Every structure is written in C-alpha cells, then in structure tokens.
Amino acid sequence: MDYISTRDSSQTAAKFTDILMSGLASDGGLYIPTAYPDVDRAELESLRTVFDTDGYAALVAEILKLYIDDIPAEDLEDIARRAYTAEAFGTDEIVRLSRLDDRVLLGHISEGPTAAFKDMAMQLLGELFEYVLTRRGAKINILGATSGDTGSSAEYAMRGRDNINVFMLTPAGRMTPFQQAQMFSLDDDNIYNIAVEGGFDDCQDLVKAVNADAGFKSRYSVGAVNSINFARILAQVAYYFALYFKATSTNDQLVSFTVPTGNFGNAYAGHVAKFMGLPIDKIIVANNENDTLATFFGTGRYGTGSAWVDSQVTSSPSMDISRPSNFERFVYDLLESDAGEIEELFSVKVPTGGFDLGEDPNFAEAIDSLGIVSGSSTHADRLREITHAHENLGTLIDPHTADGVHVARQNLDVTNTDIIVLETALPVKFADTITEAIGSFPAVPERFAGIEGGERFVVDLPNDAEAVKEFIAKHAAEKEN
C-alpha cells in the first residue's frame, strides 16, 4: 500500500511509516492511500470472526494489515494489543453498544484515559510512533491543535516517551474547565501546552503554517497527531467495523451512523469504512451552530465566498470548527481523485473565502451516491436531548453526543436502518451544560477526582507562526543538549 498527497498530480508515492512521521504532506495536502482496500463478503465474515473470537485489538490489527506493508504483521498485532487494554479502557470490550430508543443506538467509544473518543486513535498512535522512532533511532516534535479533546488524548498517549515532544496549541479560554485541567495539569517534561488568542481554526492554521516551512519541519522533525495524520483515520475506521458487528448478526444487514463532527476525521473514517465495503447505508454528519459542513452537504457551498468568519463559541466546544482539515480528503474522493482541482480549491480558494460545488448540476446526485446526509443543532436542541435522555431513557449524554442524537432524529426518514450515534465524550467533561440541562452536576469518575484543583502548566503565545517556531526550536534544542 502506497500513499499520495491530495494535491500532488504526479502521485509521488510514500510508505506508511513515512507519512506517519510527517503527518501533513510537504505540498500542504493530506496523505491518502492510492486505493482503498476492498473488503468483500468473505473477508468481512473473516473480520467478524476475528472480532468475536479474539476481540477488539485483533480486529484493529487486521484493519491495519490492509493498509500497512512496511511494518511486519506480527508487530502490528503486538502494537494493537499494547494500545487497547482493559487497563486503559476500563474493560476488555473496549467499545460498547447500547440502545437509546427504537431506532437510535449509542456507540460508546469514549471510555479511554481522557473520556473522549480521541483516545481510540491516540493510544494506537502513541504505540506506532514509539515503534518507528525506536527502530530509526530518531525523535519527533509533535505539533498539534485542539478544540478540547484531541490535546488531552494526545498528551496522555505520548507523555513520558523519551523520543517524543508534544507542543499542543489551544484556543485561549475556549475549552471547558475540565478540558483545560486535563491538559494543563500535566507537567511531564515532554509536554508543552500553548494557549493562543483566537479559535481552533487559528490554531489549526498555525500548525499548517509551521508545516509549510519545509526547512524547519525537517530540522526539528515536526510531526502531527491531529486527524491530518492518516494513522488516526485508520484507528477510527476499526471501531466502525466493531460497532457494525455488535449491531448486526449477519453481514447482509445495513446500519447507519450519525457522527458529531468538528474536524471531520471521525466522519471521514466512516466514509472510508463504507468505501471499503462495510454495509453502511448513511453517514449522517452532525454539526453544531458552526455548520460549515451541513451547509456544504445541503448546498455545495463551502465558506462565505469572501472572508471566513470566526467560529462561534458553543456548548459543544470540540465542534467549534469552521474549516475542517479532513474535508479535503472527502472532496478528493468526491472529485474522483482530481489533485489539480484540489490544489486550486484548497490552496487558492479556501484561503480567500471558499468555493461552491453546488453549481454543478450533478452535485446532489454525487453526494447522495456517497450516502452522506447532514444536519445541525442549537444549544436549546442539545439541552432538550440531554434532558430527555436523562429523564426518559435513563442515560446521560454529553452535548456533542446530544448534537448527534438530535440530528439522527432529524434524519430518521432518510434510512430504514437503525442509526448508531457515536458517543464522543463522557458528560463529566461538560459539567456546566449538563447541570443546565438536568439541574445537577454529572458524576465524576474516580480517576478524575480533584483534577480541576491542581496547578496549571501552560504558556501564552501570540497568534503568530514565527513565535510558535521559536518556542519549538528553543525547547527542542534544550532536549538535545
């Protein structure tokens, strides 16, 4: 399996371990496989058997083997076993499925160390980094951006690793107190929390700007843990298979998924699983008030046409993103691998306001053929869903999952299947909104007791790529000496 950049018309091939280390392609594009593996019915049945017999880690290893040919198969099995343990996820089951009501199920993928679905990928990514770096005798400086959950998941997966430094950009003052505490309470000497004035999109733009400096990126071995790193997507593809197997008894059945989304990595992983052959009817993309994607899937318009507006601050902060990185991968598939058009759209048009594919009379048909539908929620919608689930269904859900439940209900008539809503975080991370909805503070798991009362380790930097590079250079040099 080889990988190419979404913006490279020459289709220069790279291997998995190389794209793992670099994250973003040098031309600013995102890496994708040259072709998605085709999982036919026989192989799907084999994967079901592996999952039923040997468990989640074994299933992950089989998915990885379809995409990675420069790490031995037995090593991938060991890597997956180390990543997915009962100690990290609270149970050997790793992912769970429960029924919310007649048509809607919850896919529980947020039982990891930081109570967010990002742990499902980050625990694997940490093991993959460690494996490759050890064999190369190398070090990496990870630069990431977070709107809340990616940062803590990455830091908990990478903390204490001698050959990895993590520099995580956060939008100053825009995460919940619990999310801030999870990150800023870490004082490991390889973890650097950086608060930047602005929103997540500004942080993500800084990551891209630093990566665009090829000399700096090479000198300081800058890598990525955001879902721009395709390894994150692979890890997420696996739980779509697992949840499908849990929801069905045979591979002739269809299911649909509703995915609360911010940077579109989670939803894109579902799209990849469907491309591979997993029997998914619809991928239902759920936005909050920052409804860039819902607008695109409904109209073909991406952006304002003039200048991007700042993302709104909402009660589902991990989704407060207006320019999702993984959307570029989806558009590449939508445009049937036209790298030249992707270069024009994302290098030229997106920086100046966006683009409109809805002018193509075949746009709606193309979106429908991919099985994508969308919707969005408001703060009031999320409060209603949290209250209803708590009072009538005996379940407490966080505001991001509530967004997914609301949009799933909006789209019950677009599919005849059950709809699995991906639970993206535990309620404790968003206590203010939960308290507003149900009138009481959510229960705090024992492992998080007192987390908000500790010391904070975070530095403030201006929204400036040069300032970020200077900070990385200074601290990376200190580690080398």
What CATH number is attached to the domain comprising 380?
A: 3.40.50.1100
The reply to whether 167 falls in a domain is: no
- The whole model's pTM is what? 0.92
- Residues linked to residue 107 through DSSP beta bridges, in sequence order: 97, 422
- Domain-located, residue 217: no
**What pLDDT score was predicted for residue 26?**
87
The answer as to whether 42 is a domain residue is: no
Judge whether 137 lies within some domain.
Answer: no
Q: Indicate if 118 belongs to the active site.
A: yes
Given the residues 15, 65, 118, 208, the one annotated as active site: 118
Per-residue pLDDT of the chain in tens (481 residues, 90 and over written 9):
999 999 999 999 999 999 999 888 989 999 999 999 999 999 999 999 999 999 999 999 999 999 999 999 999 999 999 999 999 999 999 999 999 999 999 999 999 999 999 999 999 999 999 999 999 999 999 999 987 788 899 999 999 998 999 999 999 988 888 888 899 999 999 999 999 998 888 998 999 999 989 999 999 999 988 788 999 999 999 999 999 999 999 999 999 999 999 899 999 999 999 999 999 999 999 999 999 999 999 999 999 776 777 789 899 988 998 999 899 999 999 999 999 999 999 999 999 999 999 999 999 999 999 999 999 999 999 999 999 999 999 999 999 999 999 999 999 999 999 999 999 999 999 999 999 999 999 988 888 877 777 788 999 999 999 999 999 999 987 766 5
Please report whether residue 413 resides in a domain.
Answer: yes
Q: What is the pLDDT of residue 78?
A: 98
In a domain, 153, yes or no: no
Domain count, the chain: 1
Whether 37 is covered by a domain: the verdict is no
pLDDT at 479: 67
Domain region containing 236: 96-114+231-438
- Say if CB 427 and CB 110 are below 8 A apart: no
Our measurement of the distance from residue 407's CA atom to the centroid of its chain's CA atoms, rounded to an integer in Å, reads 19
238 domain residue, yes or no: yes
